[in-house]
Amino acid sequence: MKIIYIHQYFRTPAEGGAVRSYNLAKGLVEAGYEVEMITGGAQIGYDQRWIDGIKVHYLPVKYDQNFGFTKRVFSFLSYVRQAKKLIKKLPRPDLLYITSTPLTTGLLGLWGKKALAIPYIFEVRDLWPQAPIEVGAIKNPLLKRSLISLEKRIYQQALSLVALSPGIADHLRKVAPKQQVNLIPNFSDLERFYPLEKEAKLLQEYKLTDNLTIAYTGALGQVNAVNELLNLADMAMAKCKNWQFLIMGTGSLEAQLKDYASQKSLLNVRFIPFGSKEKVNEVLSLADFAWISFAHLPVLKTNSPNKFFDAIAAGKAILVNHKGWVFDLVKAHQLGLSCLPSKIDLAFAKLEDLENYPDKMGKMGNNARKLAEQYFNKELAISRLIHTIDPKSSSQNSTGKKDILTA
């Protein structure tokens, strides 16, 4: 079977960031499928590369988190326009596998089905347009209605839908009740991320001590609420705690967060440049807790963040700032602590207690790794995807795993 995989922001592990599409596409290739990836890149002109058996087409479409609304829309539509031209030149595929965001990638599915009679499966990573509407990026009532209508059309015309969390799956069933919805969460790469002890040499390299350390590895954008981690660092400074806070990432609020840390003289905070997945695992090895945070908007409770699955694979205890699916998993499986803004004092007290009992933190980390191994391994996700693409295949959705995915 020949599949064209459409993902505007495709990344490899060497590049860092979200590599879900890389792992799924590679898994499909290894299972005997022919996969061509269509993505965007900042290069001048079209480029094509073979990456681990995946034929990757790079369209010249610049995108940056610092883009304003108009510039982002231009990037989205430019990608759709160029992808259409390319698909018409390529040998006809059996299926389009389309992942959002942005929602505009779904236009390729609608077009491909109508103009070329190619069916498509649509994967929903984040709820668009709900997310930008709640964030306030989309305010025009007419535009809101148009995007909600587009969302409905994309879902209803798809061969089937893929959701990354139970909350997203629930939303899809409400919008398109007749559609088959398959739950394939983000997953842990257990080979690339694994538990490591704090190494004295590495602590010295990062100018750290062996005290309680909390690390954030992810985007530094408007919805990521990393400012709340800085608030926790500020409390630690005020209470003369020798705790350390590591922030590894990049995004539209990077400069603002650094300025705040500087103004507050947060000497316990280290900003680390964005890097590869290996570098992320290295930073996590220095931490006792991984910080998982989002802004407090209803739509963000449905998220399935890569950084959470990387952290549990690395055997890290979790510190989560928001309610939702991740919060429920942390609570149900004793992976760590919640640090809700309204209860930050309580969370701080619990951290003070755990500081004196490293074995308890270690147990949380062990629980995290166990959860990753049993329910969120890469192979299980690939198996679910193959079954979604070809229900008659020998690959089956896991048995005995339903409860964890509806937590």
| Per-residue model confidence as pLDDT tens digits over 143-154 | 999 999 999 999
Higher pLDDT among residues 316 and 63, named by residue: 316
Q: Do domains 2-187+377-405 and 200-374 have the same CATH topology?
A: yes
User: Which fold would CATH assign to domain 2-187+377-405?
Assistant: Rossmann fold (3.40.50)
Residue 176 has pLDDT above 90, yes or no: yes
Strand order in the sheet with 120-124: 47-51, 54-60, 34-41, 2-6, 95-100, 120-124, 160-163, 181-183
pLDDT score, position 16: 83
Domains of the chain, residue spans: 2-187+377-405, 200-374
Q: Where are the beta strands (DSSP E) in 171-321?
A: 181-183, 213-217, 244-248, 269-272, 289-292, 317-320
Contact residues for 76 (Cβ-Cβ < 8 A; gap 6+): 8, 102, 104
- Residue 403 binned pLDDT confidence (cut-offs 50, 70, 90): very low
pLDDT at 147: 94
User: 69 exposed, middle or buried (CB, 10 Å; 0-12, 13-18, 19+)?
Assistant: exposed
Tell me what pLDDT residue 404 has. 55
- What pLDDT, in 10s, does the model give residues 334-382? 999 999 999 999 999 999 999 989 999 999 999 999 999 999 999 999 9
pLDDT above 70 (res 406): no
> Mean pLDDT for the chain?
94
Tens of pLDDT along 296-327?
999 999 999 999 999 999 999 999 999 999 99
User: Topology of 200-374 in CATH?
Assistant: Rossmann fold (3.40.50)
Dist CA 337 CA 332 (whole Å) = 11
Burial class (CB in 10 A: 0-12, 13-18, 19+), 289: buried
Cα 122 from Cα 69, distance rounded (Å)? 24
pLDDT in tens, 229-275: 999 999 999 999 999 999 999 998 999 999 999 999 999 999 999 88
Selection from 373, 384, 288, 378 nearest residue 336 by Cα:
288
Residue pair 3/33 in contact (Cβ under 8 Å)? The answer is: yes
- Mean pLDDT of the region 117-134: 94
pLDDT band of residue 68 (cuts 50, 70, 90) is confident
**Residue 10 CA: distances (Å) to CA of 59, 100, 119, 173:** 11, 11, 21, 27
Q: What is the pLDDT of residue 66?
A: 72
**Number of neighbouring beta carbons within 10 Å of residue 342:** 7
First vs last C-alpha separation in the chain:
34
Cβ contact 39:5 at 8 Å: no
Instruction: Tell me what pLDDT residue 388 has.
Output: 97
Confidence category of residue 132, pLDDT binned at 50, 70, 90: confident
